[in-house]
Amino acid sequence: MNSVMKRVLVFSLLLMMMNLPSLPQDRTNSAEEKRKLLTLLENAWNQAQFARDGKALDGLVADTYVYTDSDGTVMNKAEFIADTQDRSYRLTTVTNNDVKVYLYDNAAVVIGAYHAKGIYKGNPFDHRGRFTDTWVFQNNQWQCVATHTNLIQK
């Protein structure tokens, strides 16, 4: 199985898991299970961006989602998803590392480092940065309500 097919398979499985009815937010879901799920959702997000899968991103981010980019640009959900569909932007690598999940009652803050590499308008780029995602458990699912990124290295 080639790497693209493996990515599609893993991404599809993650989306299926995301759409399963969730257990109530109580002690039946341990903190460790929640951390693992949120880390999986962050990875599913990367795969959705890599595949330009707007439908997957639509399920991962809340209708009130706000994205603040490292250059100060602020986008709402529709603008963010449209931005990921830009054909002049092609990712060849997108990964997270040093991910930490901080849990609250029905919310979580996920921080980490990212590496995004690809081509934008014919010019190669290789960005490393930090991100902060704020997730809320609502309507029996986790959705990201806000993201902030900043570059460490271009």
So what's the pLDDT on residue 136? Answer: 98
What is the sign of the dihedral through the CA atoms of 133, 68, 112 and 13?
positive
Angle CA 10–140–7, to nearest 5:
10
- Cα separation, 59 vs 52, whole angstroms: 14
Tens-digit pLDDT profile for residues 84-106: 999 999 999 999 999 999 999 99
CB atoms within 10 A of CB 56: 20
State the fold for domain 3-153. Nuclear Transport Factor 2; Chain: A, (3.10.450)
Helices (H) and strands (E) in the chain, counts: 4, 6
- Cα separation, 24 vs 30, whole angstroms: 11
Q: Which residue has the higher pLDDT, 40 or 27?
A: 40
What mean pLDDT is reported for the chain? 86
Q: Which residue has the higher pLDDT, 123 or 9?
A: 123
So what's the pLDDT on residue 6? Answer: 46
Domain boundaries, the chain: 3-153
